[in-house]
């Protein structure tokens, strides 16, 4: 906070009264000089209120769905937000996160080598038998931990979800105990897991839970990189297209599909970015989920509509300009002080918000503005946010000069015109 202006120096009142007595100005002068200095009250202008219209997002007509900001917990739109649904292969995101906590991959590394065994090959046959997704697992093939996670995320290979969990924890039961502990520690205890793959109908969560899961997964560099891979090439295993048909469209950057028969339908947990407004502004990261659609093609269309219509309601607003007047003081003897905003406050908002500016400034008793800098408060509230506005103070208010004080009683009695 800064101040400018000069301050006149006046003789103490005792010296002034002595001078008055010496000059034999009489009782009137004493009365005038002892009269209280008028209180100076601020004039606080009415600040402009910024108001935007409510957002409209096209949600699918059936199933569960939600889209939210990746930063924070604001949900932009949802259908069945707190209705539990079957996860299907979205469960593999949890498997990857739990294993990465137990066996982290440093930086851009590949993680340890894992040699496929006959047991891994038998997993392929077991998932073929029940119609589950899989990827070949030739005995003796050496894969890295990262490659196995990529096969889980891009190909959605059930057998590699089991292989990874068994490698990290020794048994599926041990993995499940670790997974439930991980969910609880991350505030996701309402998500239930029954296997590593999502093949069980007991893997369930609400869209609200899945938004929180998506935020964690999108922030993990290993999972985010795998989820953003359109085509995966793994030597000795094969070439696979990402099962996420929405990837790379309408700002979608990842995450994980899930498909489990007509009773469950097709799901997608996704991450993405909405374009900034104006065009040169930073894009806005979002996460979302679409559940219970007929197939992955229908999921992709639903997600594209979600992203496109959400982007339409994103806008940058200016809440206050630098230099905007917040309060003003003016004395009858001609001194003044102005309080102005020291910053321009802008924000990228989505949907309907209404700003609520509030300025509090004290009246100056005895024309004492020495504590003004610490007492003026300016706050802006909008869209669930609150920001304190730093201020600049210019000018100064000094005690009234001798001539003004001597003439003030005559003004009050109507014998002289008032000053302003």
**What is the chain's Cα-based Rg?**
34
Q: How many CB atoms lie within 10 A of CB 380?
A: 21
**Mean local confidence (pLDDT), 195-199:** 95
Distances (CA, A) of 363 to 41, 77, 368, 369: 4, 46, 9, 9
Q: Listing from the earlier edge strand, what are the strands of the sheet with 385-388?
A: 356-360, 377-382, 385-388
Contact 271, 285 (CB under 8 A): yes
Contact 213, 93 (CB under 8 A): yes
pLDDT surpassing 50 at residue 118? yes
With CA atoms as reference, report the closest residue to 381 among 354, 399, 359, 407.
354
Q: What is the pLDDT of residues 255-310, one digit of tens each?
A: 999 998 888 899 999 999 998 666 666 788 999 999 999 999 999 999 999 999 99
Which domains can be identified in the chain, with CATH numbers? 13-51+319-412 (no CATH), 64-312 (3.40.710.10)
Tokens of 310: 């959400």
With CA atoms as reference, report the closest residue to 395 among 7, 44, 10.
7
Q: Pick 224 or 412 by higher pLDDT.
A: 224
Least confident window among 7-21, 144-158, 291-305: 7-21
Tokens of 222: 């290993």
Average pLDDT score over the chain:
89
Percentage of residues of the chain with pLDDT beyond 90: 65
Q: What is the pLDDT of residue 20?
A: 47
Q: What is the pLDDT of residues 314-350, one digit of tens each?
A: 888 899 999 999 999 998 888 899 999 999 998 888 8
Q: What is the pLDDT of residue 391?
A: 93
Confidence tier at 368 by pLDDT (50, 70, 90): confident
Tokens of 90: 């979205």
Q: How far apart are CA 89 and CA 264, in angstroms?
A: 11
> How would you write the chain as a 3-class SS string?
CCCCCCCCCCCCHHHHHHHHHHCCCCHHHHHHHHCCCCCECCECCCCCCCECCCCCCCCCCCCEEEEEECCCCCEEEEECCCCCEECHHHHHHHHHHHHHHHCCCCCCCCCCEEECCHHHHHHHHHHHHCCCCCCCCCCCCEEEHHHHHHHHHHHCCHHHHHHHHHHHHCCHHHHHHHHHHHHHHCCCCCCECCCCCCCCCCCEECHHHHHHHHHHHHHCHHHHHHHCCCEEEECCCEEEECCCCCCCCCCEEEEEEEECHHHHCEEEEEEEEECCCCCCCCCEEEEEEEEEECCHHHHHHHHHHHHHHHHHCEEEEEEECCCCEEEEEECCCCCEEEEEECCCEEEEEECCCECEEEEECCCEHHHCCCCHHHHCEEEEEECCEEEECCEEEEEECCCCCHHHHHHHHHHHCCCCCCCC
What torsion, rounded to 10 degrees, do the Cα atoms 208, 210, 211, 215 define? 150
Least confident window among 3-12, 87-96, 232-241, 405-414: 3-12
């Amino acid at each position: 906070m800064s101040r400018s202006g000069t301050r006149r120096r006046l003789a103490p009142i005792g010296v002034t009264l002595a001078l008055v007595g010496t000059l034999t100005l009489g009782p009137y002068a004493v009365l005038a000089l002892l009269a209280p200095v008028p209180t100076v009250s601020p004039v606080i202008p009415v600040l402009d209120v910024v108001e935007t219209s409510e957002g409209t997002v096209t949600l699918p007509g059936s199933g569960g769905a939600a889209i939210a900001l990746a930063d924070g917990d604001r949900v932009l739109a949802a259908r069945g937000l707190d209705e539990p649904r079957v996860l299907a292969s979205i469960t593999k995101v949890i498997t990857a996160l739990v294993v990465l906590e137990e066996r982290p991959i440093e930086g851009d590394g590949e993680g340890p080598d894992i040699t496929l065994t006959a047991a891994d090959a038998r997993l392929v046959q077991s998932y073929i038998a029940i119609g589950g997704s899989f990827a070949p697992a030739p005995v003796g093939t050496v894969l890295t931990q990262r490659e196995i996670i990529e096969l889980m995320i891009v190909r959605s290979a059930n057998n590699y979800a089991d292989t990874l969990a068994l490698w990290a924890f020794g048994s599926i039961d041990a993995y499940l105990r670790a997974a439930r502990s991980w969910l609880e520690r991350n505030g996701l205890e309402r998500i239930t897991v029954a296997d590593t793959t999502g093949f069980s109908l007991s893997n369930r969560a609400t869209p609200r839970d899945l938004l929180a899961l998506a935020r964690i997964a999108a922030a993990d560099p290993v999972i985010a990189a795998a989820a953003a891979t359109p085509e995966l090439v793994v030597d000795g295993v094969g070439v696979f297209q990402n099962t996420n048909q929405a990837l790379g469209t309408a700002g979608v950057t990842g995450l994980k599909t899930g498909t489990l028969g007509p009773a469950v339908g097709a799901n997608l947990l996704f991450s993405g970015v909405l374009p900034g407004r104006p065009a040169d502004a930073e894009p806005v990261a979002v996460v979302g989920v679409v559940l219970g659609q007929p197939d992955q093609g229908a999921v992709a269309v639903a997600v594209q509509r979600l992203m496109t219509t959400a982007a339409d309601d994103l806008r940058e607003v200016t809440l206050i300009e630098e230099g905007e007047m917040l309060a003003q003081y003016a004395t009858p003897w001609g001194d003044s002080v102005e309080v102005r905003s020291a910053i321009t406050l802008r924000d990228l908002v989505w949907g309907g918000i209404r700003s609520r500016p509030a300025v509090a400034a004290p009246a100056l008793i005895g024309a004492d503005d020495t504590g003004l800098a610490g007492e003026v408060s300016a706050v802006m509230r909008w869209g669930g946010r609150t920001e304190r506005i730093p201020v600049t103070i210019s000018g100064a208010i000094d005690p009234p000069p001798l001539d003004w004080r001597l003439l003030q009683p005559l003004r009050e009695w109507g014998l002289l015109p008032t000053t302003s």
